[in-house]
Structure 1
Amino acid sequence: MRLSRIFRFFAPRGLLGRALLIILLPLVILQAIALQLFYGNHLDVISRRLAAGVAGDVGMIGELITRDASAESQARIFREAAWRLEMALAFEPGARLEAPQSRRASLPLLPLEDDLATAMRERVALPFDTDWQTDPRSVIIRVQLPGGVLHVEAPRKRLFTSTLYLFMIWLVGSALLLFGVAAAFMKNQVRAIRRLAGAAEAFGMGRDLGAIKPEGAAEVRQAAAAFNRMQERIRRFVAQRTDMLAGISHDLRTPLTRMRLALALLPAPAQEDAAALTQDVEEMERMVAAYLAFARGEGQEQPVPTDLVALVEDVAARARRDGARISVEAPEALTMPLRADGFRRCLGNLLDNARKHARRIAVAVEQVARPEGGGWATVMVDDDGPGIAADQREEAFRPFATMSAGGTGLGLAIARDIARAHGGDILLEDSPLGGLRARVRLPV
């Protein structure tokens, strides 16, 4: 479990990163094993053999010079070594090596110094030192002979093989090539999935972007085609529901209008008795209008860039004209995609509910940014009324749920329906004023 949590913590969050990790991780492990097998076994054997060959040649030259130290013999040995062994030789008669110490600076990743030093100790068995820094093409070996110091310049090409570098180029090049091909391929697949996710998110927020083009892998194209069919079915359902509700509105309002007209035409002595019936008819009309607004929703209105602060100020000004005491605290401007008419209805319903139960109302607008971009706009409506018990707040959003006397029980239901159509939501909380707070969250 602990390893699983560690892997989830360090693993990429996105599909593209995880897919590339699944593709490249086995390849990297395989190449690392191949490199270890080559570097740890094959190259090690070759390096030791090459170093042993150079050390053996140096030991043979030192033995020949020790046996015959004449100038003629040394000249012949030097010529043969330069021609046959590609080594430049020099001899200092009577010289001594003081504190032999190798100057190490070889090619990276190759164990040349250690292998040559080991071979010299095994095959020469005389004091020596090596210089890898003075000449970039050769290694200078100095050996203490009985009669002086032997200087040997051995070409580095005799001590290493370029196979490792070719092998490394092949490993890195193939990995980069595979990474490029996999990244390009997976990016196209992820782009199609992201486009599908964006279209689903926009459609869920009521933004009609039309059908999306199926692309990518067969499964992704199948999902895109299914999404397009789902969009069409939902649009057809909404259109049919709207037409049906328009008919219901006409059928219900016509008899109610006739009833109101009949009550208004009653003689004066009966008007007092008919007043209660008139109020009932008006209440029925309000209930029908509220129900139709709830059922119809805001599906026909498209979001457009709107200044949320100006909209809130306008709704609050209308409520003040109706006698409400409302204060508004907001930034200068906050432009975001909104269905202006729908959100006016949402905020108006919240203010109407607050006016029925409170004397003081405070509205605040805030924006909370997210590190990855975008954020949330929050509209908070606070009042000093009696509030709603915490265990009953979710029940208050159910259609026709009246938490107190009066009202149709559709105000909060319609408000939440509109907020969710924008991709947000409404939450009920305790208010600092002592009553209820309605928090509206909308994506910016």
Structure 2
Amino acid sequence: MGPALQRGEAAGAEDSGRLAPPARPLSRALRALLPRGLLGRSVLIILIPMLVLQAVALQLFYGGHLDVISRRLAGGVAGDVAMLVELVRREDPANRAWIFRESAWRLDLTLAYEEGARIQFVARPASLPLLPLEEDLNTALWERVRMPFDTDWQSDPRSVIIRVQLPDGVLHVEAPRKRLFTATLYLFVIWLVGSALLLSLIAILFMKNQVRAIRRLADAAEAFGLGRDVGQIKPEGASEVRQAAAAFNRMQERIRRFVGQRTEMLAGISHDLRTPLTRMRLALAMLPREPAMEEDLAALTQDVEEMERMTAAYLAFARGEGTEQARPADLVDLVHDVAAKARRAGAVVEVTAPERLAMRLRPDAVRRCLGNLVDNARRHAGRIAVTVGTVPRNGAGGPGGEQKSAWAEVTVDDDGPGIPQAEREEAFRPFHSGSPNGTGLGLAIARDIARAHGGEIALEESPLGGLRARLRLPV
């Protein structure tokens, strides 16, 4: 049964390989060449069909109209040259003047005769490589003249010089290029290039306006997700984009109304919970201090303090620090404030940081996040090391996909017992506490604040032997 199972696993592996073939290098190269932005892809969608259509039209022009016209014009010039060659051959050299005169007047061909000369055939590069004019003229001359000849397209920019070898000399024929060239070619090429450029410009301008509206909507959504008050955005662009902007404005209003109602409700709950706790604290303080009741009174006072601390932690977690607005602040100052507070509580905290790290954030929320991380380390360790710096971003950025140039990174290391790797993610769950004196909300609140800023918190193994909390915020 073992070999059969192995063969089945091998067959399954082969089937999975056939179902998921590796990406071909050509497809990867094509994807790399395609633009990633909506503007570039939309312009390509508009321009590629137009360019293909113009390429087909150009091919039909070259293969049809231009080819036919070129052969007819070349045939007409070659026929005139053949007739003049025959007249020059038959006429006495002394009486050839009338042929030259009539040719210049009636055929627009200038003739010259060089007695006793021989044609020096010279290899010349094509002066019009994209047009069939030279080849068509040579073919027509060979069919009609049937004598050694040479064509020169480069000596005169306005004429084509044709040399024909006669028995007693060389006949020079100067034909104007306008007899071999049609101006419709220029018009056609200008129309193709001009229309392509004009349509490209129109497409780019039009799509840029559409994409600008989408970008503004994305920026507003990202800023609103980070807790910034962006206000109502103006609907603009296509009707679908306007509809999305209007829906976003309505969503903002509903969320603000919900947060406001929840904040008012939590304020009432806070008042209702803290009032009886205050009365209990006052009652305990007014009770007579008898030696027999001293231990019980201390225990009750400790229970009331713990209830007050838990109530404050629960309300802070539910509130989520969402009412504070982001503003420029110095992350290094916040770290030093948190470290000083931890030292006053008896902790040993070492801070390694630059002189200044300015960024846009919600200072009170970040101070609470850092305080929770340091307090969590203080409860489980005797030594704490806090390091502040910046690291380049890798990939698309934070969890929201925002593009940032760098991360501001704060690491909190301790020498405590640490957390096993399998339980580190569980430590971020609300009310999950590894300490008998904790509420289980410190890390949950810290991660909530970090993600609200577009960052993240991760737990790792510390070089000090305990736990490392790594906080990253987009700069």
Query: Which of the five TM-score ranges fits, normalised by the shorter chain?
Result: over 0.9
Q: Which residue of 1 aligns with 2:398?
A: none
Stretch moving more, 140-149 or 429-438 = 429-438
SS at match of 2:111: strand
Q: Which residue of 2 aligns with 1:423?
A: 454
- Matching residue within 133, 148, 157 for 1:112: 133
Deviations 1:208-234 (A, max 9, x none): 011101111111111111101110111
Q: 1:289/1:87 Cα in 2 relative to 1: closer, same or farther (>3 Å)?
A: same
Does residue 80 of structure 2 align to residue 49 of structure 1?
no
Provide the rounded CA distance (Å) in 1 between the counterparts of 2:73 and 2:142: 15
Q: Which residue of 1 aligns with 2:37?
A: 14
The count of residues paired between Structure 1 and Structure 2 equals 442
Matched residue type, 1:254: T
Q: How much does 1:47 deviate?
A: 1.2
Does residue 320 of structure 2 align to residue 324 of structure 1?
no
Matched residue type, 1:283: E
Matched residue type, 2:310: M
Q: Which residue of 1 aligns with 2:441?
A: 410
Map 1:252-291 onto structure 2 (within 5 A).
Answer: 252-269=273-290, 270-291=293-314
Provide the rounded CA distance (Å) in 1 between the counterparts of 2:185 and 2:414: 77
Q: Which residue of 1 aligns with 2:88?
A: 65
- Matching residue within 141, 148, 152 for 1:127: 148
SS at match of 1:400: coil
Asked whether the 8 Å contact 2:75–2:140 carries over to 1, the reply is yes
Matched residue type, 2:420: A
Does residue 205 of structure 2 align to residue 184 of structure 1?
yes
Q: Which residue of 2 aligns with 1:438?
A: 469
Q: Specify every segment of 5 or more residues in structure 2 that has no aligned partner in the other structure, as ranges.
A: 1-22, 395-402
Does residue 379 of structure 2 align to residue 356 of structure 1?
yes
SS at match of 2:78: helix
Asked whether the 8 Å contact 1:329–1:364 carries over to 2, the reply is yes
Provide the rounded CA distance (Å) in 2 between the counterparts of 1:321 and 1:266: 32
Map 1:328-407 onto structure 2 (within 5 A).
Answer: 328-370=351-393, 374-407=405-438
Asked whether the 8 Å contact 1:422–1:443 carries over to 2, the reply is yes
Q: Which residue of 1 aligns with 2:161?
A: 140
Provide the rounded CA distance (Å) in 1 between the counterparts of 2:185 and 2:416: 81
Provide the rounded CA distance (Å) in 2 between the counterparts of 1:110 and 1:71: 41
Provide the rounded CA distance (Å) in 1 between the counterparts of 2:352 and 2:129: 67
Stretch moving more, 100-109 or 279-288 = 100-109
Q: Which residue of 1 aligns with 2:333?
A: 310
Asked whether the 8 Å contact 1:369–1:376 carries over to 2, the reply is yes
TM-score with structure 2 length normalisation?
A: 0.90
Provide the rounded CA distance (Å) in 2 between the counterparts of 1:123 and 1:102: 22
Provide the rounded CA distance (Å) in 2 between the counterparts of 1:195 and 1:440: 29
- Matching residue within 249, 270, 280 for 1:228: 249
- Matching residue within 176, 182, 189 for 1:168: 189
Does residue 245 of structure 2 align to residue 214 of structure 1?
no
Q: Which residue of 1 aligns with 2:116?
A: 94
Q: Which residue of 2 aligns with 1:292?
A: 315
Matched residue type, 1:147: D
Matched residue type, 2:426: E
Provide the rounded CA distance (Å) in 1 between the counterparts of 2:318 and 2:226: 17
Q: How much does 1:105 deviate?
A: 4.7
Provide the rounded CA distance (Å) in 1 between the counterparts of 2:57 and 2:289: 106
Deviations 1:33-55 (A, max 9, x none): 11001012221121122112212
Deviations 1:107-136 (A, max 9, x none): 452122222222222211111112111111
Q: How much does 1:267 deviate?
A: 2.4
Provide the rounded CA distance (Å) in 2 between the counterparts of 1:378 and 1:343: 13
Deviations 1:360-399 (A, max 9, x none): 2111122234597532211111112111111211111111
Matched residue type, 2:177: R
- Matching residue within 59, 65, 71 for 1:36: 59
Provide the rounded CA distance (Å) in 1 between the counterparts of 2:389 and 2:66: 67
Matched residue type, 2:357: L
Provide the rounded CA distance (Å) in 2 between the counterparts of 1:75 and 1:370: 87
Asked whether the 8 Å contact 1:131–1:139 carries over to 2, the reply is yes
Provide the rounded CA distance (Å) in 2 between the counterparts of 1:156 and 1:69: 30
Q: Which residue of 2 aligns with 1:159?
A: 180
Matched residue type, 2:437: G
Does residue 229 of structure 2 align to residue 198 of structure 1?
no
SS at match of 2:240: helix
Asked whether the 8 Å contact 2:236–2:242 carries over to 1, the reply is yes
Asked whether the 8 Å contact 2:404–2:474 carries over to 1, the reply is no
Asked whether the 8 Å contact 2:226–2:453 carries over to 1, the reply is yes
Q: How much does 1:434 deviate?
A: 1.7
Stretch moving more, 21-30 or 365-374 = 365-374
Stretch moving more, 210-219 or 38-47 = 38-47
Q: How much does 1:173 deviate?
A: 1.0
Q: 1:49/1:81 Cα in 2 relative to 1: closer, same or farther (>3 Å)?
A: same
The percentage of aligned residue pairs carrying the same residue is 75
Matched residue type, 2:438: G
SS at match of 1:268: coil
- Matching residue within 95, 100, 107 for 1:78: 100
Q: How much does 1:86 deviate?
A: 0.7
